[in-house]
């Protein structure tokens, strides 16, 4: 049986041309190599899994390649030694586990000696922000006057933790998250090479979940391939792996909420939750849908890859039955709720309560409608009097029996509320609307 190699390792780029989504950085590096203007130290920063260490390794390979093109030839003795792991003049250090000044002194000591072959001895320092202050100070002296045969290639996810004195002596490259379309295209090419059939929607689902990280996208693809016994992966496989229950379930949840159907909302929410999906994911998906609905209502384009095309069609239908102020209100409530979910030990209860509140709020009329109605009924245009009337009107509505539909068979009647308690509730529901008035 052959040894299993994770896709992220198997398809790790070996040449600049294979790096995806970092075109500007690669162009600057290659031009810098041709013009010999790259200096002794470079820093690659950015979030996880976007190619920092990979690019540093290719740069190391290019510096040591026996041929003079910026792209490493892949054929010379030095390039081949990278492939078989026998390259001894490139030293990789994980600063996360080598943080002390002694660790850095060892590096500095080693800098005195020329490489065993080739022009450069190269140090790749991963997670360089983890070095201690004294370690940085020790390194600084070498960075100020580096021996000609030494190059430092550093990578970090947290640039702000690196002292300014170090930053001012390195060439900095801030790597970008990979665009979902670029990631999906990359996954498609890998699926072809692996003889795996996957639709564009499947690959986009993975790309979206990876949130700009190549490593994450390949790790998800690995898992999805492992769960299927065929040479084809489906959207269902991906959603199972991602803990994404069918998105149409969340659309149905949204429909129940917007129609103020509390009982069905809670029932659907519990059903979705039983499918091994996190509360945060559900809340964020609803948030995405509210955003998309707001865009549709405002006739503006939905930002790329927020919501699937097939979901957008369903949202268009829903948008006809919901107002813009209601969407803004729900958005604010959701944002607050997501913060509460993070802080609470029982996120499912927090989210359930939040959904009930949103569903309840959906039954309330929009403040704007009340004002317009008042305008029609009143001859005066005095703003103050309008607002007073509006407040009064809202109290009247809230004080009357607010019938909130649950199911057709069992309507719940909210009774015996004083106008004060209902006003309190209204203030919670419409904090901005009432305060701004
Ligand atoms: Zn070479």
What is the model's pLDDT at position 274? 81
pLDDT tens per residue, range 256-302: 999 889 999 999 999 888 876 788 888 888 999 999 999 999 999 88
Ligand 1 centre to CA of 43 (Å) is 23
Provide the pLDDT confidence category of residue 340 given band limits of 50, 70 and 90: confident
* Residue 79 CA, ligand 1 centroid: distance in Å: 4
- Residues 138-167 have pLDDT tens digits of 899 899 889 999 999 999 999 999 999 999
* Under 8 Å between Cβ of 131 and 139: yes
Confidence category of residue 199, pLDDT binned at 50, 70, 90 = very high
For strand 41-45 and strand 171-174, is the pairing parallel, antiparallel, or unpaired? parallel
Distance CA 195, CA 230 (A): 11
How many Å lie between the centroid of ligand 1 and the Cα of residue 56? 16
Q: Ligand 1 centre and the CA of 62: distance in Å?
A: 7
The CA dihedral of 397, 402, 403, 406, to the nearest 10 degrees, is: 120
The three-point CA angle 53-56-57 to 5° equals 90
- Which two three-digit tokens encode residue 300? 């503006």
pLDDT at 232: 92
Looking at residue 391, its pLDDT comes to: 56
- In terms of Cα–Cα distance, which of 171, 175, 174 is closest to 32? 171
Cα-to-centroid distance, 329 and ligand 1 (Å): 60
CA-CA distances (angstroms) from residue 353 to 168, 250, 269, 359? 51, 16, 11, 10
CB 353 within 8 A of CB 400: no
Average pLDDT, the chain: 83
Q: Which range, 196-200, 211-215, 374-378, 404-408, is most confident?
A: 196-200
Structure tokens of 422?
A: 């209902």
- CB burial class (10 A; 0-12, 13-18, 19+) of residue 149? middle
Is residue 386's pLDDT more than 70?
no
Residue whose C-alpha is closest to residue 119's, from 74, 69, 66, 75: 66
71-75, 134-138, 334-338, 420-424: the lowest-pLDDT one: 420-424
The domain made up of 180-242 has a fold known as Helicase, Ruva Protein; domain 3 (1.10.8)
Half-sphere exposure of 84 (CA within 13 A, CB side): 7
Helix axes 347-362, 419-429, angle to 10 degrees: 110
pLDDT of residue 435: 39
Tokens 């780029």: give the residue. Answer: 13
Q: pLDDT by residue (tens digit) across 56-78?
A: 999 999 999 998 789 999 999 99
Question: In this predicted model, which residue has the larger pLDDT, 206 or 241?
Answer: 206
Q: What is the pLDDT of residue 69?
A: 80
CA neighbor of 133 nearest in space, from 95, 180, 183: 95
pLDDT score at 290: 93
Whether the CB-CB separation of 91 and 110 falls below 8 Å is answered with yes
Q: What is the 73 CA–ligand 1 centroid distance (Å)?
A: 4
In the chain, residues under CATH classification 1.20.272.10 are 243-363
Q: What is the mean pLDDT of residues 230-242?
A: 84
Query: Which regions of the chain carry the CATH code 3.40.50.300?
Result: 7-174
Task: Please give the distance, rounded to the nearest whole angstrom, from the Cα atom of residue 29 to the centre of ligand 1.
Answer: 17
Higher pLDDT, 14 or 392: 14
pLDDT tens digits, 84-96: 888 899 999 998 8
Distance of alpha carbon 109 from the chain centroid: 41
Supply the pLDDT for residue 370.
Answer: 63
Predicted pLDDT at 416: 41
pLDDT score recorded for residue 302: 85
Ranges assigned E (strand) in 47-204: 90-94, 121-126, 150-156, 171-174, 197-198
* Residue 343, both tokens: 């802080």
What's the 71 CA to ligand 1 centre distance in angstroms?
8
Distance 35 CA to ligand 1 centre (A): 18
Q: What average pLDDT does range 201-224 have in this prediction?
A: 90
CA of 83 to the centre of ligand 1 (A): 11
pLDDT at 368: 62
CATH of domain 243-363: 1.20.272.10
**Distance in angstroms (rounded) separating the CA atoms of residues 426 and 364:** 9
What is the per-residue pLDDT for 18?
Answer: 95
Pick 85 or 45 by higher pLDDT: 45
CATH 1.10.8.60 positions along the chain are 180-242
Over 80: is that where the pLDDT of 407 sits?
no
C-alpha–C-alpha distance, residues 376 and 393, integer Å:
14
Higher pLDDT, 375 or 339: 339
Instruction: State in Å: Cα 216 to ligand 1 middle.
Output: 30
Give me the helix-helix angle, 235-242 and 200-210, nearest 10°. 20
CA of 100 to the centre of ligand 1 (A): 34
For residue 414, is pLDDT > 90?
no
3-state secondary structure of 414: strand
Distance CA 430, CA 423 (A): 10
Of 4-8, 302-306, 361-365, which has the strongest mean pLDDT? 4-8
Rounded distance from Cα 297 to ligand 1 centre (Å)? 57
Q: State in Å: Cα 252 to ligand 1 middle.
A: 57
Q: Tell me which of 3.40.30.10, 3.40.50.2300, 3.40.50.300, 3.30.360.10 is the CATH number of domain 7-174.
A: 3.40.50.300
CA of 119 to the centre of ligand 1 (A): 13
């Amino acid at each position: 049986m052959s040894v299993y190699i994770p896709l992220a390792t198997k398809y790790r780029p070996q040449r600049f041309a294979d790096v995806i989504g970092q075109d500007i950085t690669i162009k600057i590096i290659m031009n810098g190599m041709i013009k010999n203007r790259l200096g002794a130290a470079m820093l690659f920063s950015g979030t996880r899994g976007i190619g920092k260490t990979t690019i540093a390794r290719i740069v190391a390979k290019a510096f040591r390649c026996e041929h003079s093109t910026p792209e490493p030839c892949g054929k010379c003795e030095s390039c081949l030694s990278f492939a078989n792991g026998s390259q001894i003049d490139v030293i990789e250090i994980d600063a996360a586990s080598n943080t002390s000044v002694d660790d850095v002194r060892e590096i500095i000591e080693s800098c005195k000696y020329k490489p065993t072959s080739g022009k450069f001895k190269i140090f790749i320092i991963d997670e360089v922000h983890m070095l201690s202050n004294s370690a940085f100070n020790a390194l600084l002296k070498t960075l100020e006057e580096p021996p000609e045969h030494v190059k430092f290639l550093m990578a970090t996810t947290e640039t702000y933790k690196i002292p300014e004195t170090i930053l001012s002596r390195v060439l900095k490259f801030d790597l970008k998250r990979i665009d979902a379309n670029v990631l999906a295209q990359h996954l498609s090419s890998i699926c072809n090479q692996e003889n795996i059939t996957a639709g564009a929607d499947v690959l986009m689902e993975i790309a979206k979940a990876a949130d700009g990280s190549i490593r994450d996208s390949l790790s998800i693809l690995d898992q999805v391939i492992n769960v299927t016994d065929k040479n084809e992966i489906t959207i269902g496989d991906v959603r199972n792996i991602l803990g994404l229950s069918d998105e149409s379930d969340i659309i149905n949840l949204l429909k129940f909420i917007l129609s103020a159907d509390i009982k069905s909302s809670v029932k659907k929410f519990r059903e979705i939750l039983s499918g091994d999906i996190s509360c945060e994911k559900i809340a964020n998906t609803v948030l995405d849908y509210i955003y998309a609905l707001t865009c549709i209502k405002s006739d503006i384009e939905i930002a790329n890859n927020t919501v699937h095309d097939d979901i957008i069609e369903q949202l268009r239908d829903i948008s006809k039955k919901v107002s813009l102020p209601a969407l803004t209100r729900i958005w604010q409530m959701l944002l607050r709720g997501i913060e509460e979910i993070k802080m609470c030990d029982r996120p499912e209860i927090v989210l359930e309560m939040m959904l009930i509140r949103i569903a309840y709020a959906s039954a309330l009329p929009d403040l704007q409608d009340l004002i317009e109605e008042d305008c029609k009924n009143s001859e005066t245009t005095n703003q103050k009097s309008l607002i007073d009337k509006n407040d009064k009107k809202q109290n009247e509505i809230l004080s009357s029996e607010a019938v909130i539909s649950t199911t057709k068979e069992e309507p719940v009647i909210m009774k015996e509320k004083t106008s004060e308690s209902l006003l309190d509730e209204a203030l919670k529901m419409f904090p901005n609307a009432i305060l701004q008035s």
